[in-house]
Each structure stands twice: as C-alpha cells, then as structure tokens.
Amino acid sequence: MLKFALLGFLLRQSMTGYDLAAAIRSSINFVWPAQLSQIYRTLGQLENDGLVVSEVVPQQGRPDRRVYSATDAGRQAFDGWLGELVTELDPVRTPFLVRFFFSGTRAPEEMVTQLRVLRDLHLRQRDQLAHELPGYIAEFAAANTTDDRDPLIWDAVRRAGEMHAQTWLDWIDETIARLEDAAGKAQPR
Amino acid sequence: MLKFALLGFLLRQSMTGYDLAAAIRSSINFVWPAQLSQIYRTLGQLENDGLVVSEVVPQQGRPDRRVYSATDAGRQAFDGWLGELVTELDPVRTPFLVRFFFSGTRAPEEMVTQLRVLRDLHLRQRDQLAHELPGYIAEFAAANTTDDRDPLIWDAVRRAGEMHAQTWLDWIDETIARLEDAAGKAQPR
DNA sequence: CCGCTATATGGCATGGCTCATATATAACTT
DNA sequence: AAGTTATATATGAGCCATGCCATATAGCGG
C-alpha cells in the first residue's frame, strides 16, 4: 500500500524520503500514516524492484539528499494498481469498538466517561479535517504539478474523513443517551 | 488486540479455538476479523503467558477438542485492558481512499464506476448489519452467560457499523455527483 | 545545553496473512 | 456409485508490513 502511495507522489514530483514524509503528513496522513523508517525501507524495496531510482545530491552540514524518481516500470505498476477493481470491502479494524463490545461488566458511568473522551478526540479530528487540512492541501497543490481534477478529489478524500468523524460524534451521542436511559430505568426514583 | 478479544470470550465461556472463530464471526467480525490460524497462535501465546489454560477433550473421528479457559491472571489482564483510557484515535487505514486520492489521472467515468461498485459493497454491508447481525447476536446471547447490559452494548457496536456504512453510501453519492457535475462543466454543450 | 529541523539508516518485535496438512463424517452433486 | 464440498478441529511454516527505538550529523533558536 505505502509502496503505491510513494510511487504516486514520486510520479508527480521527484523527492527525498524526508520530503515524502512531509507530503504524506499534509495529505493522506489520516487515511494512511507512515513512519520515516517505514518510508525509507519501502523506498529501498521499490528501488530493488526497479520502480524508482535515486540520485545522491551532496549537501553541506546535512546528510546528503537522496532524491528518488519513479521509473517507467514504476509508472506501469502504479497504473496497474489504480486500475484494480474493488471486489471486497477492506476490513476495518476498530480497537475501540472491540473494547466497547466487551465492557458490559463495567460501570455505566465509566463507559460514558470513556465515550466523552473519545468524543473530544473525534471532535478535534473533525475540526482539523474541516479547517486545517484544506490549507495544507492548498499549499501542497501549489507546490505540485496538479491535474485539474486533483483539488476536487483531494477534497473528496478530506470530506470522507470529516463525514466519518461526524458519524462518530453522532454515534457517541446516541450511545451515551441509550446508556443513560438504561441506567435511569434500572434504578428509578 | 485479538489477545484481549479471545480473553473476553473465554471469560464468558470456555471453548475451543474453533468455537472462538465462530463466536467472532457472529459478533465482532466486522470490527475485528481473525483467521483460525491466527486464533490458535494467539491462544498459544496466551497459554504461555498463563492467561488461559487448556484441557484436551478426546473425540472420535475428529481431532480432539482443546478447550481453553481464562485464568485469574487472564481476568486481571483483561480488566486492565478494559480500564485503559483512550488517549489517541486509532489510525484508520483506508486503502480505497488512498487509491482514490491518486486517481486524478484516470477517466472520470472510470472513477464513477469504481464508486458504484464500492457503493454496492457498502450497501450489502449496511443491510447485513441492519438485518442479519441482530439475529446472530440474539443466538449468541442465548448461548452465553450475559450481563443484562450486553444486548444494549452489542447493539451499539452493531449500530456503529451500520452508521459508518451509511456514511459511506452518502459520501459516495455526494462524490459521484461532484464528479459528474465537474465533467458536465468541463465539456458543456 | 536543550531541542527542533533536515536527512538517512539500522535492528528488533509484533501481529497479521496465506497456504499446507491431517482426519472423519455427513451432505450434496453429478 | 463416485466424487466434491462442507463441517469440525488443530497445527505448522513462512512472508510481509508496521511499529518503536536508536544512531549520526549539523546548524539554528531559545
């Protein structure tokens, strides 16, 4: 996966691993975060497979930059990947829900507290996606050769994140209400 | 993660790895699927760590059953896990959105087609969560010692899946409309 | 002097995935 | 009647991607 994301960026513009990390951070981080170490390792594989090549650019004071560029084979691999058809939903792994599923033995107030904490996190996430990310994307677009449909698409991806964050907020509110309702009925008056 | 899920089930009821796979399939599969091989390996680790013990029950015709039970240490570990506070959102990895992010070079109709395929999958998923899962959960509840808050909680987890599936549907509709709108404007009359 | 930015690389642990294998019965399919 | 597939059960080998942590260098801002 990361493999293809890196190729995708490099096809727009050659850059270093460090730059790639920044590109990811200002774009797809919320759907596919990556550590620097992971990026470098993956670049190594890509180079091994001939999908990218690198060129060392000496620098003073800093480690030399190693600038990566996608090759023709890289473009082909990437295009193949883009053309793949979706046949199954990717499994979604949601640790929180697993925990929640098993927390029937816990005090209801504790569950509500946990939900409130989670709510805060999702709220921040939603606001970040709604307000901060657009700025990063604009910068990123300005710095990159962009197809004219890119802004629309990037915004759609951003929107997906925003909508899901909102759905979490709604779910949490609904769930807290249900828990409180049940607690109210359990020990009435 | 799986470790704790298994413990959670075993604390309700001792069972074999095979049974655990079935328990997962009829409950948290959509938030945490697991292969049989993975389950057995994890049970092995749990046993090593003294969190579960197993007892072999001979059978004719079939491989002997190895029935696992959670130990006291297992209960403690599990409780500790349940008590953990959420401090950060779990990263959500969504391969589809990564692909989508990079598909600016593709024909818009192709993107729409892909979105329609995805829509179908999410639609099925939503309906399954809305209609089939409740039945499984009911069966599962009948077969297990359940706390009286369990049904509420299990349904909340189910609802989270349903709501997220619905959000996907909404996002896809919105995105298709935006793409078609843009295409209409690009080549008018 | 601490910590951040820029840059690259290494090692180890974790946990998931795929595929293979073994065995017996029952239930379909041709 | 023969053959496939499914169900119940357990286990092993090997791959792969991620994660976390450490290290090296150097300049700049506090």
Domain map (residue ranges) of chain A: 2-83, 95-186
Which residues in chain A have their CB less than 8 angstroms from residue B106's CB? Answer: 82-83
Tell me the residue length of chain B: 189
What would the CATH number be for the domain defined by A2-83?
Answer: 1.10.10.10
DSSP 8-state symbol, A86 = P
Q: Residues of A35-61 as b/e, b for ≥16 C-beta within 10 angstroms?
A: eeeebeebbeebbeeebbebeeeeeee
The answer on pLDDT for B178 being more than 90 is yes
**pLDDT for residue A147:** 66
Strand partners, A70: A52
Which residues in chain A have their CB less than 8 angstroms from residue B85's CB? Answer: 114, 117
Q: What span, in angstroms and rounded, lies between the C-alpha atoms of A38 and A63?
A: 18
CB B100 within 8 A of CB A156: yes
Token digits for A85? 């058809």
Token digits for B8? 């959670």
CA-nearest residue of chain B to A4?
Answer: B99
Token digits for A124? 């921040």
| CA B29 to chain centroid | 4
Cβ contacts of residue A64 below 8 Å, gap of 6+?
A56, A57, A58
Q: What span, in angstroms and rounded, lies between the C-alpha atoms of A110 and B61?
A: 48
The answer on pLDDT for A61 being more than 90 is no
Token digits for A78? 């990437």
- Cβ–Cβ of B156/A146 closer than 8 Å? no
Q: What span, in angstroms and rounded, lies between the C-alpha atoms of B105 and B86?
A: 40
Disruptive mutation site among B7, B35, B78, B98 for chain A (greatest number of A CBs within 10 Å): B98
The answer on pLDDT for B94 being more than 60 is yes
Residues 52-81 of A with CB under 7 A from strand D: 60-63
Q: What is the pLDDT of residues B52-62, one digit of tens each?
A: 999 998 877 66
At B57, is the secondary structure helix, strand, or coil?
strand
Report the phi/psi class of residue B50: left, alpha or beta, with left for phi > 0 and alpha for psi in -120 to 50. Answer: left
Q: For the ranges A101-115, A140-154, B4-18, B89-103, which has the lowest average pLDDT?
A: A140-154
**pLDDT for residue B59:** 75
Q: Which long-range contacts link A171-176 to residues 24+ away (Cβ below 8 Å)?
A: A171/B156, A171/B159, A171/B160, A171/B163, A172/A115, A172/A116, A172/A118, A172/A119, A172/A122, A173/A119, A174/B156, A174/B159, A175/A115, A175/B156, A175/B159, A176/A112, A176/A115, A176/A116
Exposed/middle/buried for residue A81 (C-beta within 10 Å: 0-12, 13-18, 19+) = middle
**pLDDT for residue B48:** 92
| CA B87 to chain centroid | 22
Q: For the ranges A13-17, B86-90, B96-100, B145-149, which has the lowest average pLDDT?
A: B145-149
**pLDDT for residue B169:** 98
In DSSP notation, B118-171 reads: HHHHHHHHHHIIIIIHHHHHHHHHHHS---TTHHHHHHHHHHHHHHHHHHHHHH
At B12, is the secondary structure helix, strand, or coil?
helix
- Cβ–Cβ of A90/B94 closer than 8 Å? yes
The answer on pLDDT for A123 being more than 90 is yes
Q: For the ranges A5-19, A23-37, B59-73, which has the lowest average pLDDT?
A: B59-73
